[in-house]
Amino acid sequence: EQHVAEERKRLVDGLVKEISQEDFDEALCVLPPMKWIRNERYSMFCMSEMWSYSFTSQYLRDKVTGKCYTTMVDIHDESTWLDKLLGL
């Protein structure tokens, strides 16, 4: 359990990076997405390949601003997800 906590602290740091639409589209096409959420405000998904344990990259495209983002999340902890981090 201590190792998982240390890995989470190292990987899931809450830092959000803005990316291009092309990077978002490329990530979407690499592997089948997990936890894909599409609504009137945004489209968001997780990579289906984990970095470690339940930690994976997540991507979000804000349909209002047209901006795209990525971060590392715990797929089982929605408080780490991009929509929460961005206040959407």
Q: What is the pTM of this model?
A: 0.90
C-alpha to C-alpha distance for 80 and 67, rounded to whole angstroms: 19
Q: Name residues whose C-beta falls within 8 Å of residue 20's C-beta, 6 or more positions apart in sequence.
A: 68
**Could you read off the pLDDT of 2-14 as tens digits, one per residue?**
887 888 888 888 8
Q: How many residues does the chain have?
A: 88
**Could you read off the pLDDT of 13-58 as tens digits, one per residue?**
889 999 999 999 999 999 999 999 999 999 999 999 988 889 999 9
Question: At CA 44, angle to CA 25 and CA 37, rounded to 5?
Answer: 125
The pair of structure tokens assigned to 55 is 């930690």
**Could you read off the pLDDT of 68-79 as tens digits, one per residue?**
999 999 999 999
